[in-house]
């Protein structure tokens, strides 16, 4: 899971040029929660016909400063915040990826290609191409470069042909932004629209600007007006004059956006498929309250307060407390300068992060029965530590309410839990799980209430029910290589 953004400024008459890279930089700051491993920006200057690029490991604020940004001149730019699910930490694998032949092409994507190994063998063995990275973004580059070589005098035809090949041959999730030298900005979303991608526009004097980004939060922050979501299977191209071209490349695919975007990943202030993330999280809390109520009425649990595990679950906890008529209290305060534990690479790093990031508010938890709300249980280690911490500071009894159904299957679309054996809910009943983590009871949101809360019937729930929106052949090789890669990273850390 990553964040992507592309900006193009076009001018209706001569005007003072504004570097798009600065807008992209500010957008990346709003998308930092989508990836914290690395960040990159590539700008393109239509006047000098030059690309300017900078990317490195680290947070957006660490990778870029004023001096670096001043060198990324040009009225078109794309950017990326990285959360690695394929590839390595090598700088070669960072995005955006740029090439100069047969055209100047820069691309960045969010998602994951399930048949990456099969298609990379096709390019390296059958076509004799030298692949330079371990990143699936290079496959997109190869498809388009092949197409631009084949259709030299027909730019748009080549762009469409390359995108059609991609949609036909690559299986998985991708929300991609790109740019072509002398031509303009483009975007492509996979046929099921698994990862989010939105389109926005801004008019200022003689300047018409377009933005394509992972989330609407980037647009709100920069004063862009949300136009619409990029549709599943849609290719969008915006030329340097600001004219937009669109083509739907697929037929018969059902949109299946990732449910976890609303539950956990996306910023609360964003909207996906026109469904406010904050609003959905409130709905999930209401649905969960309806499920918790019978346990309170039967006297099985008697919570004094509702307490969220910060930050994502705060919204659902508020509506759950309101619905049950219970006081909402912040019993745990998050140190905002630590990274999200789920997004960190190995178990040890995650456990260290939990210790560092939550402080108990003793006055609110001492002597209380707590209805603790979290957005998910992945490995269970976070829940164990939090419950231990609350009890250590005087909590009497803890019921854990989860605003998502149990995660039991792998995700092949960009979320890093490919080995199902790591998912604690897979082999445990709710009672066994409660005992394992030290809670009185665990109450999961039902799949029905999840869909109701999101307000869409068709969403990807592959990690809940094992029904994936794409064929999953190649998943075994994908899982095996991913595990090998993680082990190699762990060894490097020793
Ligand atoms: S499998 Fe789960 S996490 Fe992955 S895309 Fe589908 S819903 Fe999202």
Do the annotations mark residue 312 as ligand-binding?
A: yes
Report CA(322)–ligand 1 centroid distance (Å): 29
Residue 303 CA to residue 425 CA, distance in Å, equals 24
User: Residue 324 is encoded by which pair of tokens?
Assistant: 């049950």
pLDDT of 493? 34
Residue 318 CA to residue 308 CA, distance in Å, equals 8
Ligand 1 and 194: CB distance under 6 A: yes
Residues 337 and 423 in one domain: yes
2 is catalytic: yes
User: Reading across the β-sheet that carries 50-57, which strands appear in turn?
Assistant: 50-57, 38-45, 76-82, 3-11, 207-213, 198-204, 225-229
Residues 118 and 155 in one domain: yes
Q: Output the residue whose Cα is nearest ligand 1's atom 5.
A: 258
Do the annotations mark residue 411 as ligand-binding?
A: yes
The reply to whether 343 falls in a domain is yes
Residues 243 and 379 in one domain: no
Residues 392 and 443 in one domain: yes
3-state secondary structure 379-436: CCHHHHHHHHHHHHCCCCEEEEEECCCCCCCCCCCCCCCCCHHHCCCCCCCHHHHHHH
Q: What is the pLDDT of residues 154-176, one digit of tens each?
A: 999 999 999 999 999 999 999 99
pTM above 0.95, yes or no: no
Q: What is the pLDDT of residues 183-232, one digit of tens each?
A: 999 999 999 999 999 999 999 888 899 999 999 999 999 999 999 999 99
Mean pLDDT of the chain: 91
Residues 247 and 332 in one domain: no
Q: Which residue is listed with tokens 């060894």?
A: 491
Report CA(463)–ligand 1 centroid distance (Å): 5
Are the C-beta atoms of 334 and 358 separated by less than 8 Å?
yes
The reply to whether 89 falls in a domain is yes
Q: What is the pLDDT of residues 368-399, one digit of tens each?
A: 999 999 999 998 999 999 999 999 999 999 99
| DSSP code, position 122 | I
The reply to whether 489 falls in a domain is no
Residues 208 and 240 in one domain: yes
CATH of the domain at 408: 3.40.50.2020
Residues spanned by the domain of 109? 3-256
For 32, counting Cβ atoms within 10 Å of its Cβ (0-12 exposed, 13-18 middle, 19+ buried), the class is middle
Question: Percentage of the chain with pLDDT > 70?
Answer: 90
Ligand 1 and 378: CB distance under 6 A: no
Number of domain units in the chain: 2
Cα–Cα nearest to 2, from 159, 113, 109, 119: 109
CATH of the domain at 39: 3.60.20.10
């Amino acid at each position: 899971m990553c964040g992507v953004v592309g900006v193009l400024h076009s001018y209706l008459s001569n005007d003072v040029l504004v570097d798009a890279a600065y807008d992209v930089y500010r957008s990346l700051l709003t998308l930092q929660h989508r990836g914290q491993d690395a960040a990159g920006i590539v700008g393109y200057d239509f006047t000098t016909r030059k690309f300017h690029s900078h990317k490195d490991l680290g947070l957006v604020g660490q990778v870029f400063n004023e001096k670096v940004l001043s060198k990324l001149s040009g009225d078109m730019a794309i950017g990326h915040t990285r959360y690695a699910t394929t590839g390595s930490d090598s700088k070669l694998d960072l995005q955006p990826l740029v090439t100069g032949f047969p055209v100047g092409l820069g691309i960045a994507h969010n998602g994951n290609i399930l048949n990456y190994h099969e298609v990379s063998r096709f390019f390296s063995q059958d076509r004799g191409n030298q692949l330079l990275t371990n990143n699936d973004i290079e496959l997109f580059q190869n498809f388009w470069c092949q197409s631009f070589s084949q259709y030299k005098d027909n730019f748009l035809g080549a762009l469409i042909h390359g995108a059609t090949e991609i949609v036909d041959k690559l299986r998985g999730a991708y929300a991609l932004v790109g740019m072509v030298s002398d031509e303009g900005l483009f975007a492509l979303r996979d046929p099921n629209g698994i990862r989010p991608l939105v389109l926005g526009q801004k008019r200022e004097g003689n300047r018409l600007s377009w933005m394509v980004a992972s989330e609407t939060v980037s647009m709100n922050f920069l004063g862009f007006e949300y136009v619409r979501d990029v549709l599943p299977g849609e290719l969008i191209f915006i030329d340097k004059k600001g004219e937009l071209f669109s083509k739907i490349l697929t037929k018969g695919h059902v949109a299946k956006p990732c449910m976890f975007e609303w539950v956990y990943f996306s910023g609360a202030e964003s909207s996906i498929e026109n469904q406010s993330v904050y609003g959905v999280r409130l709905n999930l809390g209401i649905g969960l309250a309806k499920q918790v109520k019978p346990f309170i009425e039967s006297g099985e649990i008697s919570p004094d307060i509702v307490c969220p595990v910060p930050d994502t679950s705060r919204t659902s906890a508020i509506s759950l407390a309101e619905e049950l008529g219970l006081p909402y209290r912040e019993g745990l305060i998050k140190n905002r300068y630590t990274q999200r534990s789920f997004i960190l690479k190995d178990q040890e790093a995650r456990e260290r992060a939990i210790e560092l990031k939550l402080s108990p508010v003793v006055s609110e938890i001492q002597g209380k029965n707590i209805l603790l709300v979290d957005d998910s249980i992945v490995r269970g280690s976070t829940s164990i530590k939090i419950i231990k911490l609350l009890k250590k500071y005087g909590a009497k009894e803890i019921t854990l309410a989860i605003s998502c159904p149990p995660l039991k299957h792998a995700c092949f679309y960009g979320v890093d839990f490919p080995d199902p054996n790591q998912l604690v809910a897979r082999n445990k009943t709710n009672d066994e799980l409660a005992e394992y983590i030290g809670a009185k009871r665990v109450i999961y949101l039902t799949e029905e209430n999840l869909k109701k809360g999101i307000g869409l019937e068709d969403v990807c729930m592959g990690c809940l029910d094992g029904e994936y929106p794409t064929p999953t052949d190649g998943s075994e090789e994908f899982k095996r290589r991913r595990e090998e890669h993680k082990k190699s990273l762990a060894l490097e850390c020793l």
